[in-house]
A and B are shown apart, each in its own frame.
Chain A
């Protein structure tokens, strides 16, 4: 084999096909208000927001090695900021969502400085403590309804769009748009220099450190960026719900346990994993939700079995079998076939 026949590339035929199919699917999804029913759109909106949360959690846990069980801190914070900024600040809800993201990043800085002192699994529980502090603190704010919570005033809701269907369309597009932005952001981050550093840290933290990668700083940036985006998603979630209470806003089950299951089942440490995981999660939920606690039990068992038997999740199984990557991140060596000579 002649070395000049080899070249290094990130793209593959599967990835190009995926990009075309992805674009088509996106167009169809954008057009959903013209073909989907009200309930379907609500469900899809929720699905997109979960997909965004899962992609963000995956960025932290799957790439930066920051396993958090306290992301509900930022979901809830975002929800409360939406309420506070619109009710007391008189800010237009979309502006409030953006501003909430900035505030989320600001809050994440001191939090990171504190909990980055905890390593590994203790970091995980530390994030949970932070979420508890957030929950208990917001329960003390009587202006936002204290422990029982409050609803978004009608005037603010109406400021989004005059008609109910207009609001529903807007909130659907917001959910879809934010998911696309989050996945694109994660993808671009991973393709950048920072992404290479992250992959190096994930594969071997010690070696990455000795290569001069500032591990602490890289993780810190990921944590703060994730917090900001999670806060914005949280604000969107509660813009859909229109009602907030500390227990709902900072629920470890809703905003962390489900998200972890999605990522583990789909495949941790890949961009495709959360997408597949979210689809599976919603299919399971829509078919088994009537079973209540049994459904959660099954979900727990499935997650444990996958973690033990197929730690790279469903996407890992698919990729292991077909060697495909829909979001081309890894470099591949390819042979180009020069015109045949004799």
Chain B
């Protein structure tokens, strides 16, 4: 029964990892950009949530109303101001520029919020739980998992059912020809980054409610998101959710064996899948 419990908790944790991964996957899908600063942007989202909750006295979930648009606007400006200049055949510029961005965000957060761990306070939600049979599931992990499903469904819908999604896919297929359709790829990429950072904002706030955070933890979140993307298969949003769940379950099982093994077990699961299925479980596009 303890094992079933571990697997259920791991699955729910996977929802958070899928939120980490969704933005990464979206950006890669549209413009083949891998954003090394993604994890730090998640942490930035959490800190923005902290500021909004302290200043306005809002519940962190309500703070999303403020944080999501801020992050979206930041994403658009970042893409058009800096990242668009790095896109091209050479993979070094985007990689190194986002790496530099990661260091900048980390140290800017250190400078403004200090290295002390912080946490978002969501009140009773944090301790509430639902009993299913003999299993007890925290309301917060359940909610996070539900939000992950909703976010991925919304992204999926945007991608395949809207004019914006059509523009994303067309630009991803062939940037030149997409320009001939009157699509300004710089603007399209800006919108894609805005959408990705909106998801990142949600991920950051859910992270901040769940655990304490400090400016240095971005790298770890990037890695979890990245592992979920690769396990699920590049370019497959639902695959990303599966990837997140596999990662979460592996970590939960590892932690059950020995607390020191939690993260290691997740990485090992990733490496095993990389060895057996290098394109992930449900690949859609070639990296």
Binding site for B on A (CB under 8 A): 61, 65, 67, 69, 114-115, 117-122, 124-126, 128-129, 132-133, 136-137, 139-140, 147, 252-253, 257, 260-261, 264, 268, 293-294, 296-297, 299-301, 303-304, 307-308, 311
Which residue from B92, B261, B263, B270 sits with its C-beta under 8 Å from A67?
B92
Contact between A121 and B103 (Cβ–Cβ < 8 Å)? no
In the complex, 22 of the A-B residue pairs with CB atoms within 8 angstroms, ordered by the A residue number, are: A61-B92, A67-B92, A67-B96, A69-B99, A114-B271, A117-B278, A118-B274, A121-B36, A122-B34, A125-B34, A125-B36, A125-B223, A128-B222, A132-B220, A132-B223, A133-B267, A268-B92, A293-B111, A294-B111, A297-B104, A303-B99, A304-B101
B100-123 vs A, CB cutoff 8 Å, 1 = contact: the mask equals 111110111011000000000000
In the bound complex, CA of A67 to CA of B96 (Å): 9
In the complex, are the beta carbons of B107 and A297 less than 8 A apart? Answer: yes
A161 CB to nearest chain B CB (Å):
38
Q: Is residue B137 within 8 Å, beta carbon to beta carbon, of the partner chain? A: no
Q: Which residues of B contact A117 (CB under 8 A)?
A: 274-275, 278
Contact B91 A297 (CB under 8 A): no
In the complex, what's the smallest C-beta–C-beta distance from B31 to chain A, in angstroms?
A: 12
> In the bound complex, how far is the Cα of B268 from the Cα of A137, in angstroms?
11
Are B100 and A307 touching (Cβ within 8 A)? yes
Q: What 1/0 flags go to B225-265 for Cβ under 8 Å of A?
A: 01100100000000000000000000000000000110110
Measured in the bound complex, the distance between the Cα atoms of B36 and A307 in whole Å is 15
A114 CA to B222 CA, complexed, in Å: 20
A308 and B94 contact, CB distance less than 8 A: no
Q: Write out the residue numbers on chain A whose beta carbons fall within 8 Å of the beta carbon of B93.
A: 307-308, 311
- Given A120-B34, A139-B260, A308-B97, also A129-B287 (CB < 8 A): no
Least CB separation from B33: chain A residue: A121
CB neighbours (8 Å) of A293 from chain B are: 107-108, 110-111
Closest chain A residue, CB of each to CB of B109? A293
* B interface, size bucket: 35 or more
Q: A294 contacts which chain B residues (CB < 8 A)?
A: 107, 111
A294 to B86, CA, bound (A): 25
CB atoms of A296 and B107 under 8 A apart: yes
Contact present for A125 and B222 (CB under 8 Å): yes
From the candidates B34, B100, B227, name the one contacting A304 in the complex (CB within 8 A): B100
User: What is the distance, in angstroms, from A126's C-beta to the closest C-beta of chain B?
Assistant: 8
Contacts of A120 in B (CB 8 A): 34, 91, 287
Q: Tell me, rounded to whole Å, the shortest Cβ–Cβ distance linking B225 to chain A.
A: 9
Residues in chain B within 8 A of chain A (CB atoms): 33-34, 36, 82, 85-86, 91-97, 99-104, 106-108, 110-111, 219-220, 222-223, 226-227, 230, 260-261, 263-264, 267-268, 270-271, 274-275, 278, 287
List residues of chain B with CB within 8 A of the CB of A119.
Answer: 287
Known: A119-B287, A122-B287, A293-B111. A137 touches B264 (CB 8 A): yes
Among candidates B82, B102, B278, residue contacting A308 with C-beta atoms closer than 8 Å: B82
- Would A129 and B270 count as touching, CB distance under 8 A? yes
A139 to B259, CA, bound (A): 12
* A-B pairs with lowest CB-CB distance, top 5: A121-B34, A300-B104, A117-B278, A300-B103, A293-B107
Residue of B92, B97, B219, B267 with highest tally of chain A CB at under 10 A = B92
Taking a contact as CB atoms under 8 Å apart, the answer to whether A133 and B95 are in contact is no
**A111 CB to nearest chain B CB (Å):** 10
A225 to chain B, nearest CB (A): 21
B275 closest partner in A (C-beta):
A114
What CA separation (Å) do A261 and B104 show in the bound complex?
A: 12
Contact of B103 among A65, A67, A114, A299 (CB under 8 A): A299
Contact A136 B264 (CB under 8 A): yes
Which residues of chain A have C-beta atoms less than 8 A from B270's C-beta?
129
| Least CB separation from B105: chain A residue | A300
**Nearest neighbor of B287 in chain A, beta-carbon distance:** A119
Closest B residue to A252 using CB positions: B219
Instruction: Let me know if A132 and B92 touch, CB within 8 A.
Output: no
- Are A300 and B101 in contact, with the CB atoms below 8 A? yes
How far apart are B105's CB and chain A's nearest CB, in angstroms? Answer: 9
Q: Please tell me if the beta carbons of B36 and A69 are within 8 angstroms of each other in the complex.
A: yes
Taking CB atoms, residues of chain A closer than 8 Å to B94 are: 121
Contacts of B34 in A (CB 8 A): 120-122, 124-125
12 further A-B contacts with Cβ under 8 Å, apart from A257-B103, A307-B100, are A114-B274, A120-B287, A122-B230, A124-B34, A125-B222, A132-B220, A132-B267, A136-B264, A261-B100, A297-B108, A303-B100, A304-B101
B227:A129 contact, CB within 8 angstroms = yes
Known: A122-B34, A125-B36, A308-B82. A296 touches B227 (CB 8 A): no
B227 touches A264 (CB 8 A): no
Q: Which residues of A contact B86 (CB under 8 A)?
A: 307-308
Known: A114-B275, A118-B274, A129-B270. Contact between A308 and B103, CB under 8 A?
A: no
CB distance from B152 to the nearest CB of A (A): 20
